[in-house]
Amino acid sequence: MLAELLASFLFLISSMIFILFTGGNKKRSITGGKQGVPAANNTVSADPGLLPRSYPVIGSYFAIYANRDRRVQWLADVIRSSPSATFILHRFLGQRQVFTANPAIVHHILKTHFHNYPKGELLRESLHDFLGDGIFNVNGDTWKVQRQVSSHEFNRRSLRRFVETVVETELSDRLVPILAAAAEDKATVLDMQDILQRFTFDNICKIAFGYDPAYLLPSLPPGEFADAFEEAVLISSGRLNSILPVVWKLKRVLGVGSERRLRLAVSRVRDFARDLIREKKRLIAEQSTTNEEAAVEVDILSRFLMSGDYSDENFVIDIVISFIHAGRDTTSAALTWFFWLVSQNPDVEREILEEVHQLKSSGGGDGSGTAVFDETRDMVYTHAALCESMRLYPPVPVDTKEAIVDDFLPDGMLVKKGTRVVYHPYAMGRLPELWGSDWAEFKPDRWLERPGDASSGGNGGGRGAPGRKWSFVGRDQYLYPVFQAGPRVCLGKEMAFLQMKRMVAGVLGRFRVVPALDKGREPEYFADLTSKMKGGFPVRIEPRTIDYSGN
Ligand code: HEM
């Protein structure tokens, strides 16, 4: 803490001296886009009112500091004011960082020039103590092999098992009883964000480890593993977003403050994972001698252990931790904002209920048979509503790559080796040029068409069951990179949709989720590595007079 204060103080004094003697540059020029978002020409002047002022040595430190509590929203505002939806943020000591919401540039970095834009050193270093060499934090062959082995966990059979057993059990045995109890007492206020995080944490641990942490229980207990995990994510993301990385590096060397807490949290998470891995190895060995198939459920951990190539226990721990990280806060973030938006849009809620009701009438959605999987996939309207909600509140609001060699972006902007290029799904979902002047409205219809609509041409994002009135129209994934896109597109996308749709049917079919906020107040957005509601999402649960859930 003392070190942090001292460093900040020295830094501030030196900045003032520089500004006094040199003056800030008043206007910044950026390059306009050739395709995609707005501008058609090169080099245009952006709105100087919104572009952060930059000074020698300290760059835009003051603007970054002033907006530190609304970093994501601020960057989105600046991007929106830039003619090519792309601007350069000047950092300390002449470092430049490119921010973009231009689909052509996103396509360039995620697809056509993928090899020049891996995860950069800053990201890797900030997350390495926690994620090690797991899939989320590596490039090249180490990444490719992990992706290949784990992709089997996302085949049709595994997905079916996931929805019909893991999600279904968590829903009916844990979530529904908690909500039902809250619905009986009007005074009960639940933090829906916390509930959803517990729900997805249990789910992802079962998929990754084959282990049930039982984090979603009526008493909402502290979970040793979950809490340590949360602390490690928070402090690691604090590193990543730190204005002066030297501060956390110094604290790490000294082993003080947040860095000390991070070390403790990471060692708790790893010890826990190590015990589970040893237990799993024992089960696999037992299974191979007794030939008992049922002894080991196939989860991601078992796949790696059974492939026989992973003798390094620490590496296996890295792999599993990365998966939990990938699947944990993303789905809960999506659902938290979804329930908020639905509560504000009764027409959308009505359509969802109708869809859930149709499932029930067509014989599915009974929560027990194999129909659940197919019926869940057929929830086209709910699928659209989830896409629309993630357009406005993408669970991963920004994503950073780093150029290996000098490169030109499609709009002609030169990117020097080592420059961080950040694409910004949060800003992209709010660009009128991409979504129209009604971009601020929550309208699932933009993802749908009715059979016979003139502009027919849905690209198969949903299957549109017989008798349903909607079919899904997907968007270009570089215009809507909420799950990233290209070779590193999210592996869990389909799993996430199945989980979310099943949970939406199970919850909204039975209950109304009513925000318990003062009149006129809206939840406050903030982001660590994922989008969150500051202070949680207080709700009251009301029973529905008609049970639409089908159970
Ligand atoms: C709404 C839910 C989800 C969203 C919005 C989402 C989004 C993303 C994004 C943006 C990335 C790229 C991150 C980066 O490289 O910096 C990613 C990667 C990944 N996601 Fe998801 N994700 C979701 C759910 C899941 C789930 C449930 C899993 C299951 C385990 C999962 C597994 C992964 C994995 C393994 C990667 C790394 C892929 C790679 O690097 O090759 N995700 N996801």
Ligand 1 atom nearest 324 alpha carbon = 30
Which residue's alpha carbon is at the smallest distance from atom 23 of ligand 1? 330
Dist. CA 454 → ligand 1 center (Å): 35
Task: Please state, in angstroms and rounded to a whole number, the distance separating the CA atoms of residues 503 and 549.
Answer: 10
Pocket test of ligand 1: the residue of 490, 491, 500 to mutate, having most ligand atoms within 8 Å of its CB, is 490
Task: Please state, in angstroms and rounded to a whole number, the distance separating the CA atoms of residues 288 and 301.
Answer: 16
> How confident is the model at residue 339, as a pLDDT?
98
Answer whether 213 contacts ligand 1 (Cβ < 6 A). no
Question: For 209-258, how does the pLDDT look when each residue is reduced to its tens digit (9 = 90+)?
Answer: 888 989 999 999 888 888 999 999 999 999 988 888 899 999 999 999 99
Average pLDDT of the chain? 84
User: Residue positions in the annotated binding site for heme?
Assistant: 490
The verdict on ipTM greater than 0.95 is yes
Which residue's alpha carbon is at the smallest distance from atom 36 of ligand 1? 490
Dist. CA 422 → ligand 1 center (Å): 17
Q: How far is CA 236 from the centre of its chain?
A: 15
Which residue's alpha carbon is at the smallest distance from atom 41 of ligand 1? 488
Beta carbons within 10 angstroms of residue 388's beta carbon: 23
> How confident is the model at residue 433, as a pLDDT?
94
> How confident is the model at residue 99, as a pLDDT?
97
b/e per residue 102-136 (b: at least 16 CB within 10 A): bbbbbbbbbbebeebbbbbebbbebbbbbbbbbbb
The residues that bridge with 90 in the sheet, in sequence order, are 96
Question: For 420-446, how does the pLDDT look when each residue is reduced to its tens digit (9 = 90+)?
Answer: 999 999 999 999 999 999 999 999 999
> How confident is the model at residue 360, as a pLDDT?
67
Ligand 1 atom nearest 322 alpha carbon = 35
pLDDT bracket for residue 467 (50, 70, 90): low
> How confident is the model at residue 13, as a pLDDT?
46
Answer whether 323 contacts ligand 1 (Cβ < 6 A). yes
pLDDT bracket for residue 450 (50, 70, 90): confident
Question: For 367-397, how does the pLDDT look when each residue is reduced to its tens digit (9 = 90+)?
Answer: 444 567 777 888 999 999 999 999 999 999 9
Dist. CA 35 → ligand 1 center (Å): 28
Q: What is the pTM of this model?
A: 0.87
Dist. CA 493 → ligand 1 center (Å): 7
Answer whether 330 contacts ligand 1 (Cβ < 6 A). yes
pLDDT bracket for residue 17 (50, 70, 90): very low
Residue 207 or residue 181, greater confidence: 181
Under DSSP, the state recorded for 403 is -
Ligand 1 atom nearest 425 alpha carbon = 10
pLDDT bracket for residue 153 (50, 70, 90): confident
Dist. CA 537 → ligand 1 center (Å): 24
Residues of the chain with CATH 1.10.630.10: 143-396+430-479+482-543
The tally of CA atoms less than 13 A away on the side-chain side of residue 210 is 23
Answer whether 328 contacts ligand 1 (Cβ < 6 A). no
pLDDT bracket for residue 267 (50, 70, 90): very high
Q: Is the pLDDT of residue 268 over 60?
A: yes
pLDDT bracket for residue 49 (50, 70, 90): low
Which residue's alpha carbon is at the smallest distance from atom 9 of ligand 1? 483
Residue 351: Cβ-neighbour burial (10 angstroms; 0-12, 13-18, 19+)? buried
Answer whether 503 contacts ligand 1 (Cβ < 6 A). no
CATH number of 143-396+430-479+482-543: 1.10.630.10
Query: What is the token pair recorded at 481?
Result: 């990179």
Question: For 279-336, how does the pLDDT look when each residue is reduced to its tens digit (9 = 90+)?
Answer: 888 888 887 776 555 444 578 888 888 876 777 888 889 988 998 899 888 999 999 9
Answer whether 124 contacts ligand 1 (Cβ < 6 A). no
Answer whether 334 contacts ligand 1 (Cβ < 6 A). yes
Q: Is the pLDDT of residue 362 over 90?
A: no
Residue 277 or residue 365, greater confidence: 277
For 352, 388, 517, the CA distances from 341, given in Å and listed in that order, are: 13, 10, 14
Question: Residue 82: which of 62, 58, 102 has the closest Cα?
Answer: 102
> How confident is the model at residue 48, as a pLDDT?
55
